[in-house]
Amino acid sequence: MKQQLKPWSALRHLPNDGIIGLFKASSLTLGKPAFWANVYVRRIGLDIVAKFPTMPSEARHIQAVRAHTSIPIPTLIRECHDSADPKDVCLVLEYVPGRTLDQCWSELSIFRKLWIIWKLRQYVKQLREIPHTTPWPGPLGDTPQTCVCEALFSPTDAGPFASYPELVDWFHYKYEVAQRMNKVVAGCGHLQDPGPFPSQSPLVFTHLDLSPRNVLLGDDGQVWLIDFGLSGFYPQWFEWAMMYEWVSLGWIGRFARRVIAGSYSKEAKFIGYIGWAINVGYRM
């Protein structure tokens, strides 16, 4: 049976648990989450979607981007906390008709692709200009927050870090673990020691999951950014590091990655070198 959708005006009276109930009952899942995530976006109304369960800081990230940039992003309509587990947050967001780049990239002309790449370069520049008003890195919050990004911080996450030096110390420890393992694990000897964590890069607001599945080409012709769940203030090169999915688009994807976020060859070697310590030896 086809799901009947109502406008937000007919649903806004529902309590938080009622909104979450609509999410759980919906069969209209939009897109697909990253392979390591368990967060879904589902259409629950004619003009709204719900994202659940997401990070408590995502609402702050959306508000910061809307307040300090002109980047098209879906409007945050409501933030709901699950009564069964208050740490789980459900966001009600504006529904934007369109297709994500992973769905439509192959159909676009080279000129359209270059236009989108240039737009994203401008968006990243705006994100990096969002004021940083606290001394600590990571997601926005009244206090330091846990840093969540499996590829950078291991499956168990990391932090909270009270300062940038604490973040540097965490990565330096992973670097030391990698140094020890590089000496004893067969097949790892080919990895050249890149030196310690590159700590000269400033902390800037970073989307941290700027993959083709999180860039929406709207039916209105605009390029929209979605999914700010992993965002926060991190070293500038982190944005580039987490855009590895662009490589699957071939030469233009590799070109896009450099144009949008910059080129960081030294930092790439560092991430590659400590990869074992993050993804396998994270308990050490």
Tell me the per-residue pLDDT of 46-76, one tens digit each, with 9 for 90 and over.
999 999 999 889 999 999 999 999 999 999 9
Model confidence band, residue 36 (pLDDT cutoffs 50, 70, 90):
low
pLDDT at 37 over 70: no
Q: Mean pLDDT, to the nearest integer, of 73-84? A: 94
Supply the DSSP string of the chain, one letter for each residue: -PPP---GGGTTTS-HHHHHHHHHH---B-S---TT---EEEE-SSSEEEEEEE-TTHHHHHHHHHHH-----PPEEEEEE-SS-TT-EEEEEE---EEEHHHHGGGS-HHHHHHHHHHHHHHHHHHHTS---SSS-BS-SSS---B--HHHH-TT-B---SSHHHHHHHHHHHHHHHHHHHHHSTT-TTSPP--S----SPEEEE-S---GGGEEEETTS-EEE---TT-EEEETHHHHHT-GGGGGG-HHHHHHHHHHH---HHHHHHHHHHHHHHHTSTT-
Tell me the per-residue pLDDT of 196-205, one tens digit each, with 9 for 90 and over.
888 878 999 9
- CA angle, 24 as apex, 215 and 63 as ends, to 5°? 40
pLDDT value, residue 190: 56
Which domains are present in the chain? 8-95 (3.30.200), 99-279 (3.90.1200)
The CA–CA distances, whole Å, from 10 to 26, 47, 207 equal: 16, 11, 33
Among the listed residues 223, 234, 222, the one whose alpha carbon sits nearest the alpha carbon of residue 261: 234
Q: Mean pLDDT, to the nearest integer, of 78-105? A: 93
Look up tokens 């208050």; give the residue. Answer: 86
The CA–CA distances, whole Å, from 231 to 87, 127, 239, 279 equal: 17, 10, 10, 20
Give the integer Cα–Cα distance in Å for 147 and 158. Answer: 5
Q: Mean pLDDT, to the nearest integer, of 100-123? A: 97
Helices 110-128 & 251-261 angle (0-180, nearest 10): 30
The CA–CA distances, whole Å, from 34 to 47, 122, 188, 206, 237 equal: 24, 25, 28, 17, 21
pLDDT value, residue 1: 46
Task: Retrieve residue 23's tokens.
Answer: 């999410």
Task: Retrieve residue 133's tokens.
Answer: 């008003």
Give the integer Cα–Cα distance in Å for 257 and 127. Answer: 16
Supply the pTM of this predicted model. Answer: 0.93
